[in-house]
Amino acid sequence: MDATPPGTPVSHRPPPPNRNFATSTPAWRIALLVGLCVIGFLALGFWALSRQAINPKWVEGVVVEKLFTPEPEQQIQLGRDGLRSREVKGTYRLVVRGDDGRDYTVFVGEPAFQANAPGSRIRFLRPPPEPTPASR
- The string of pLDDT tens digits covering residues 43-98 is 998 888 777 666 668 889 999 999 999 888 888 888 888 888 888 888 999 999 99
Q: CA 108 to CA 65: how far, in whole Å?
A: 13
DSSP secondary structure code for residue 4 in this structure: S
How far apart CA 21 and CA 33 sit, in angstroms, is 19
pLDDT band at 117 (very low <50, low <70, confident <90, very high): very high
Which DSSP state fits 132?
Answer: P
Count of alpha carbons within 13 Å of 69, Cβ hemisphere only?
A: 6
pTM of the predicted protein model: 0.51
Q: For residue 94, what pLDDT is reported?
A: 94
Please tell me the distance from the alpha carbon of residue 69 to that of residue 73, in angstroms, as a whole number: 12
